[in-house]
């Protein structure tokens, strides 16, 4: 089951953010560990397209995002080597699959994913994680803003706020309290 370390106000904020974006993006590990719905529930609003990056097409068939009332709003990006049997069992649920070539690093190219999303008329992406996916977007400078919700509770490593603070290409735009949590919003510095 999904574990929220942040409080109710932060959860509501995340759900409101989801409703404002065309899509919400996670990696396969987030699906395997948390099994999230990736829908808007804590506030009123439209559901975003749910995007999963899963190069090996390894998420379980019983995952909530594959068995939802609007499955055509779940899109999976996987590699050209993904098994045909698994592809069939997922597409028969009306979930969309995009197969991309994986490069020499065996990872899917995030820029190609963004290009495909643009072709599909997706103009905004909320990257919710997990840590590996989140860090890839940061390392490749594929973001406009980073929102950090800092909880007084700690569980495992997560995404290090210290690492974010060390980044030279960020400006802290604002910080505010959300219940017991702190919300930090950073923007990317654009070179002239």
Assign 168 a pLDDT band (cuts: 50, 70, 90).
confident
Most confident region among 103-107, 135-139, 148-152 by mean pLDDT: 135-139
Q: Residue 160 above 90 pLDDT?
A: no
Q: What is the mean pLDDT of residues 16-43?
A: 95
pTM exceeds 0.75: yes
- Return the DSSP state at 58: -
Strand arrangement, sheet containing 49-53: 96-100, 74-79, 49-53, 23-27, 125-129
With CA atoms as reference, report the closest residue to 66 among 88, 83, 81, 46. 88
Pairing mode of beta strands 74-79, 96-100: parallel
Identify the pLDDT of residue 2. Answer: 47
Average pLDDT, the chain: 89
For the stretch 62-111, pLDDT in tens is 999 999 999 999 999 999 999 999 999 999 999 999 999 987 677 899 99
Pairing mode of beta strands 170-178, 181-188: antiparallel
For the stretch 174-190, pLDDT in tens is 999 999 999 999 998 87
With CA atoms as reference, report the closest residue to 20 among 39, 46, 58, 57. 46
Identify the pLDDT of residue 14. Answer: 93
Q: What is the mean pLDDT of residues 120-126?
A: 98
Assign 12 a pLDDT band (cuts: 50, 70, 90).
very high
Angstrom distances, CA of residue 129 to CA of 29, 36, 134, 191: 9, 12, 5, 26
């Amino acid at each position: 089951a999904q574990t929220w370390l942040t409080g109710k106000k932060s959860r509501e904020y995340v759900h409101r953010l989801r409703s404002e974006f065309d899509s919400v993006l996670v990696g396969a590990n987030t699906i395997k560990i948390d099994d999230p719905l990736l829908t808007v529930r804590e506030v009123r609003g439209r559901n975003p397209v749910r995007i999963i990056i899963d190069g090996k097409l390894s998420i379980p068939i019983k995952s909530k995002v594959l068995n939802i009332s609007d499955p055509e709003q779940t899109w999976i990006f996987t590699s050209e080597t993904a098994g045909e049997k698994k592809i069939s069992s997922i597409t028969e649920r009306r979930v969309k699959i995009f197969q991309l070539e994986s490069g020499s690093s065996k990872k899917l190219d995030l820029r190609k994913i963004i290009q495909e999303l643009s072709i599909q008329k997706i103009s905004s992406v909320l990257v919710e994680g997990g840590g590996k996916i989140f860090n890839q977007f940061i390392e490749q400078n594929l973001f406009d803003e980073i929102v950090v919700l800092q909880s007084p509770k700690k569980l495992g490593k997560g995404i290090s706020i210290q690492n974010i603070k060390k980044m030279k290409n960020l400006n802290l735009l604002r910080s505010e309290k959300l219940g017991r949590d702190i919300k930090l919003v950073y923007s990317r510095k654009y070179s002239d």
